[in-house]
Amino acid sequence: MRMMKKVTAVALASCMAVSLAACGGSSSGTTTAAAEGDATEASEAAEGEATEAAEEAAGGEVANKDKPLVWFNRQPSNSSTGELDMTALSFNDNTYYVGFDANPGAELQGTMVRDYIEANIDTIDRNGDGIIGYVLAIGDIGHNDSIARTRGVRSALGTGVETNGAIDSTPVGTNTDGSSTIVQDGSIEVNGKTYTVRELASQEMKNSAGATWDASTAGNAINTWSASFGESIDVVVSNNDGMGMSMFNAWSKDNGVPTFGYDANSDAVAAIAEGYGGTISQHADVQAYLTLRVIRNALDGVDIDTGIGTADEAGNVLTDDVYVYNADERSYYALNVAVTADNYQDFMDSTVTYAPVSNQLDAAEHPEKSVWLNIYNAADNFLSATYQPLLQKYDDLLNLKVDYIGGDGQTESNITNRLGNPSQYDAFAINMVKTDNAASYTALLSQ
C-alpha cells in the first residue's frame, strides 16, 4: 500500500512537470496540495493519510463506487429490527453516516416532559380526574429516530411495555380507557400525591400518499382527538417539531396545553414564549458541518478527523461535548440539548452555523469540488427549515459546490431518477426515503 502510494505520488509529480491538464483530472479543481509541491513533498503527503479517492483524483478518473459517500439523517438500517445495514455503511473506505445520538436524545425528551408535568402538577390536570392524559404524534414507525423517541417518552412517563427486551413503539390508536396492551398506565408521585399517566392516543402521521412525519396529518389528528376527548388531554407530545407545531397551532396553543417536539426548529423555539412546552436540539449545526466535512476531508485525502476532533489550519474543531464517533458503526452522532423556557433565548435561530467550525477554508488548498446531495422530502420541516440552510452555509465555508435535490418523501425513484450521471460529481450525500433502501443508491454508484 505504502509502495503504491509512493508510485502514485511520483507519477503525479512527473506528470506535473509535463502539464497538469494532461494528467487526466476532470478539471483543474482536482489539483491537490500534494500536486503543488515538489516530488519529495508530494510523496510525503501521499504517505500520510491520503485516501485512495484522493490519489485517484490527483492521478485520474475515480470510479463512482470509490467516491466519498455520506448517509445522513436516515441511517441505513432494517426498518423492522433497527439492525444497521453495515454493507451500506461500509460501501467504500470513504463511507460514513452522520446523524445524532438517538437514544440519549429520546431519553432527554421524555425527561423534559416528565419534569414539566412534575413542576406544573397543580395546574396540569385540566379535568381534575387524577389522570394526566397525553397524546403522541409518531413520525415513521420504521425510522430508528422515531422509534427511539416514542420509547423515550413512554419510558420516562412509565407508560411503556416491554416486548423482547425493548419498549414497544407501536402506535396505540386510541386508549382513552387505559385498556391497551401496547402501553400501560404509568404513575407520577408529587408532594405525596399519586397521579396516573395515560397515553390517550397515538398514531403514525403518514399521509395518504405515503409521506411520513407529516405535519398536516398531525394537525388533523389533534382536531379529531380533541373533538372526542379534548378535556382529558393535558399534554401533547410529538416525535418532531414539524408535527408538534401543527398540533400546537391547530389546537393546543388556544387551549393552553403544553406541546413538546424535537429538532429546535426556529418556529418551535419561538413558540416556547407562547406556551409550546419545549423541544430538543439535535445539534443540526454540528450535523450539517459533519455531513460536508467528512466529504471535504476524503476529497482532500487528509485524516478524516481533520477539522473534527483535530483542529484544521483555519482553526475549525469540535469538542467531544457536541459529537461522538463510533468507528464500528462508521457513524458520527451529534449530541442533544433540551430547549425549554429556561434557555430557549439561546436557540432562536436554528440556521446559525456552529461558531467553532465556522472558519472559511482556503480555496487554493481546498479547491472546489462538486457534491450531489438529496433531501428525502422537500416538505420536511426539519430538513428544509433547519438542516438545508445550514448545509448551504457550510458548503461555502468548505468550498463545496452542492447540488441540492428535494424528494417527494414517498418514493426512492423520485430521487434516484435525478442521479442520472453520477460521474459528474466528486462525492454524494444521501438522505433515503426509507432506511432499508440504501442499495437503490449504491447500485447506481456501482454501475
382 contacts ligand BGC (rule: CB under 6 A): yes
Q: Can you tell me which of 73, 77, 94, 281 binds ligand BGC, judged by CB under 6 A?
A: 73
| Contact indicator for 68, 299 with CB cutoff of 8 Å | yes
74 contacts ligand BGC (rule: CB under 6 A): yes
Question: What phi and psi, each to the nearest 5 degrees, are found at residue 49?
Answer: -95, 15
Among the listed ranges 118-126, 153-161, 366-374, 415-423, the one in contact with Ca ion (CB under 5 A) is 118-126
Show the site string, 121-140: x = touches ligand BGC by CB under 6 A, - = not.
------------------x-
DSSP, residue by residue, 74-123: S-SB-TTT--B-HHHHTSSTTEEEEEE-HHHHHHHHHHHHHHHHHHTHHH
* The one-letter amino acid at 223: N
Show the site string, 383-412: x = touches Ca ion by CB under 5 A, - = not.
------------------------------
Q: Can you tell me which of 134, 195, 213, 332 binds ligand BGC, judged by CB under 6 A?
A: 213
| Contact indicator for 422, 391 with CB cutoff of 8 Å | no
44 contacts Ca ion (rule: CB under 5 A): no
Distance CA 331, CA 183 (A): 32
| Contact indicator for 381, 262 with CB cutoff of 8 Å | no
CB of 258 vs Ca ion, minimal distance in Å: 13
CB of 50 vs ligand BGC, minimal distance in Å: 34
The sign one gets for the Cα dihedral 435, 439, 440, 446 is positive
**Rounded (10°) angle between helices 39-47 and 2-18:** 150
CB of 262 vs ligand BGC, minimal distance in Å: 5
Q: Can you tell me which of 242, 244, 278, 407 binds ligand BGC, judged by CB under 6 A?
A: 242
Question: What phi and psi, each to the nearest 5 degrees, are found at residue 323?
Answer: -160, 160
125 contacts Ca ion (rule: CB under 5 A): yes
Distance CA 146, CA 184 (A): 20
129/162 with CB nearer Ca ion? 129
DSSP, residue by residue, 364-399: TTS--EEEEEEESBTT-HHIIIIIHHHHHHHHHHTT
129 contacts Ca ion (rule: CB under 5 A): yes
Q: Can you tell me which of 40, 90, 127, 345 binds Ca ion, judged by CB under 5 A?
A: 127
Among the listed ranges 115-123, 130-138, 180-188, 377-385, the one in contact with ligand BGC (CB under 6 A) is 377-385
Distance CA 158, CA 114 (A): 10
Interaction residues for ligand BGC, span 252-291 (CB under 6 A): 262-263
Cell of 393: 452555509
CB of 138 vs ligand BGC, minimal distance in Å: 11
169 contacts ligand BGC (rule: CB under 6 A): no
Among the listed ranges 17-25, 266-274, 378-386, 414-422, the one in contact with ligand BGC (CB under 6 A) is 378-386
Question: What phi and psi, each to the nearest 5 degrees, are found at residue 86?
Answer: -70, -20
145 contacts ligand BGC (rule: CB under 6 A): yes
Distance CA 400, CA 73 (A): 20
Among the listed ranges 88-96, 124-132, 424-432, 436-444, the one in contact with Ca ion (CB under 5 A) is 124-132
61/129 with CB nearer Ca ion? 129
Where along the sequence are the contacts to ligand BGC (CB under 6 A)? 73-74, 139, 145, 213, 240, 242, 262-263, 380, 382-383
Contacts to Ca ion by CB under 5 A: 125, 127, 129, 131
